[in-house]
Structure 1
């Protein structure tokens, strides 16, 4: 019975803490897009729209990963440690087979690009 009262006390305490609004920024990826072609080993620019960024962002540190077969491939970190408000970052196109890929931009949230082509 005492564990019930402890749980109820913990619940009451949690309910008394005011909630804080959290800003989530999900900037749309502009480039790469459906008509984009990247070549293995070359530099490519990833561009996203920062025009609707909230005044305060919970996590402004960005990361970009390659998406392979519609899954984020955490072995292909293309960029990290950049400010999500920069709006663009240069990446080196990884050594992958010719095919259709996408990227995911992480910061406050994650946002996928359109599918595009990488040529080996």
Structure 2
């Protein structure tokens, strides 16, 4: 094999190996809401999370935000608060839906689902 062919073959192999590298799962820490926050039904709130430790390649960069009723232990999957945003943005405004007052958590999905501290929703 000639030197030029060897170099091209090596570059092709390296390029395919790099492009096939697995993406990392990103589990950002939710920074808002915090424990003790109170959200009023119908208000606009901002959900925030820490993106400082984001890996270079994320397996699912598209985010979704849901409410989880803490007492019932159910995630309100039929009515997401937000979808289709970049998980790397670190924040997303949401409107508090007309739900029963009580303790809730935010569930942030991208690569994985992680939850916020418990906060209250009031009418």
TM-score range, shorter chain: 0.7 to 0.9
- 5+ unaligned residues in a row in structure 1: which ranges? 1-17
Per the alignment, residue 70 of structure 1 pairs with 73
State TM-score, norm by structure 1: 0.80
Superposition map of 1:5-24 within 5 A: 20-24=21-25
The alignment status of 1:52 with 2:53, answered yes or no, reads yes
Deviations 1:82-117 (A, max 9, x none): 000000000000101111001100001111111100
Partner of 2:6: none
Structure 1 vs Structure 2 CA RMSD: 1.5
Q: Which residue of structure 2 lines up, in the alignment, with residue 39 of structure 1?
A: 40
Residue of 103, 106, 109 corresponding to 1:106? 109
Range moving further from structure 2, 70-79 or 54-63 = 70-79
Q: Which runs of 4+ in 1 moved over 2 A?
A: 18-22
Structure 2 residues without counterparts, runs of 5 or longer? 1-16
Structure-2 residue corresponding to 1:81: 84
Which structure carries more strand by proportion?
1
TM-score (norm 2): 0.79
SS across alignment from 1:85? helix
